[in-house]
Amino acid sequence: MSKSSSQTSSLWMTTADMPSQSSLSEHQRADVCVVGAGIAGLSVAYCLAREGKSVVLVHDGGQIGGGMTERTTAHLSNVIDDGYTEIERLHGDEGARLAAQSHGAAIDFIETTIAKEGIECDFERVDGYLFVPPGESRKILEDELEAAHRAGLTDAERLDRTPVESLAMELCVRFPRQAQFHPLKYLAGLGHAIGRRGGRIFGSAHAQTVEGGAPARVETDKGHLIRAEAVVIATNTPISDIVTIHTKQAPYTTYVIGARLPRGALKKALYWDTLDPYHYVRIQTVSSKDRGDYDVLIVGGEDHKTGQADDGDHRYVRLEMWARDRFPAMGRIEFRWSGQVMEPVDGLAFIGRDPGNEQNVYVATGDSGMGLTHGTIAGLLLTDLIMGRDSSWASLYDPSRKTLRAAGTFVQESVNVAVQYADWVTGGDVSSEEEIGMDSGAIVRHGLKKVAAYRDQKGVLHRCSAVCPHLNCIVGWNNTEKTWDCPCHGSRFDKFGKVINGPAIQNLGPVKDI
């Protein structure tokens, strides 16, 4: 998602100067073509450039980091989002151990790269605290601590309380040597490092088709062709795969607020509770020429399936109420933003060869709320695969894997998607277009057609088809971000119907004869 296509701005978007890229103006050849300029795409490009590979990276924004990476809360953690008890159940003892190892290696790689490349991005090691809210069972923490120890995180320890007494008075688990940083400053540094090693980065290049083969081919919407020995699709959710991957992961929208906090009022750490959906908290120091240095309390949560709710304002209010009950020093809200998380059915990302595609097309998706470490793992793992090296992580993250113990979640999400197709036979959000207010949108039924109608701030109505071009679900209006969101697989379109997030690669269609 680009800055211009979204209503909200994250803390990172307003506190980083990002380099712009030249547009793709001619055909290109490279050893590897990377599609996507978030943490996964840039990590892959950087790792391959270090190996001496010629790399072309293309993305459809004006600058790098313009997708979901700029909407993260930037937790760098080896504490798996779904918990080690669940990862152990789904992937076994060895799978849990490899998951812990790989996420820890990702944080170490980021730290080493920052030092090697001289990237100033506010990186610091912090503790992480997993806590049970008052009134909830303590057993979940006891089980999680034991599972974390079995996975190799032997320095995790039980404490009587977190550093913030209002969070948990009885029990928490401390995970040392977690980390945090400014994600866009890090990506800017990676971009410069890629350029120094001969990598070519082109913006405003929307990949329209991807074909494996010898060579593989990526064609943009403007007709430019990139030929390469390998292609990596790192676009949050794959644009090269029509069905397979999308049946194994589901899109969720998550919400974040950032509130001013007196400097040093709260210990810098990562905080997570055990609710479902859970809350996640961290601190970022901001330097301002006008107001000096101050801290921002970042609080996220209130997740829901993308396109299946349009109550973002209420969710922001609930986040604020939750936070003010626990952080009395919290000041005014200065930032509100949302992002999209791809939740795999078995808790771990899909990183490897694209199922059903040629052997030289690779994907990185399924961030599961841990996009920064999963994206960095993609850089390390896909480089090994492309270079022909063995990796102990390959089978764990293999996009073709079948996790039978996740069958219940698979069925549940599949049923949820199937239900969304009922929108074809329902009425519209409003009975007539006259009911649509300024700077607002709604689905309107015109006979057999459903139309996505947006009225701009001048009162002009803009219509497009409400049918997502990916697999024909009916999109829904997101008033918080002023976007059209697909409730099936997470494609998103700006208010005029331009695609801004896959798996769709085409805009919402035009409307005729109404």
- Could you read off the pLDDT of 158-191 as tens digits, one per residue? 998 888 877 765 689 999 999 999 999 999 999 9
- Rounded Cα–Cα distance for residues 186 and 64 (Å): 11
- Rounded Cα–Cα distance for residues 267 and 159 (Å): 16
Q: What is the mean pLDDT of the chain?
A: 89
Please check the confidence at residue 357 and state whether its pLDDT lies above 80: no
Burial class (CB in 10 A: 0-12, 13-18, 19+), 416: middle
Percentage of the chain lying above the pLDDT 70 cut:
92
- Could you read off the pLDDT of 70-119 as tens digits, one per residue? 999 999 999 998 999 999 999 999 999 999 999 999 999 999 999 999 99
- Could you read off the pLDDT of 190-244 as tens digits, one per residue? 999 999 999 999 998 989 899 999 999 999 989 999 999 999 999 988 877 666 7
310 — pLDDT class (breaks 50, 70, 90): confident
Average pLDDT over residues 279-300: 88
Contact 10, 337 (CB under 8 A): yes
Contact 43, 27 (CB under 8 A): no
- Rounded Cα–Cα distance for residues 128 and 416 (Å): 34
Residue 168 has what pLDDT? 61
Please check the confidence at residue 324 and state whether its pLDDT lies above 90: yes
Contact 195, 54 (CB under 8 A): no
Residue 250 has what pLDDT? 85
Residue 448 has what pLDDT? 82
- Higher-pLDDT residue of 127 and 359 is 127
Q: Which residues pair with 57 in a beta bridge?
A: 34, 201
| Residue of 91, 100, 109 lying closest to 44 (CA atoms) | 109
| Residue of 249, 302, 297 lying closest to 273 (CA atoms) | 302
Residue 149 has what pLDDT? 98
Report which residue type is found at 246. Answer: H
Q: Which of 213-217, 381-385, 441-445, 475-479 has the highest mean pLDDT?
A: 381-385
In the chain the domains, ranked by start, together with CATH numbers, are 3-72+184-247+347-412 (3.50.50.60), 123-180+250-344 (3.30.9.10), 426-501 (2.102.10.10)
By DSSP bridging, strand 225-233 and strand 361-365 are parallel
Contact 119, 142 (CB under 8 A): no
DSSP string, 376-414: HHHHHHHHHHHTT---TTHHHH-TT---GGGHHHHHHHH
Question: Residue written as tokens 């006259």?
Answer: 434
Please check the confidence at residue 506 and state whether its pLDDT lies above 90: no
Report which residue type is found at 87. Answer: I
Average pLDDT over residues 315-325: 95
Residue 426 has what pLDDT? 79
Residue 117 has what pLDDT? 98
- Rounded Cα–Cα distance for residues 203 and 197 (Å): 18
Does the reported pTM lie above 0.85? yes
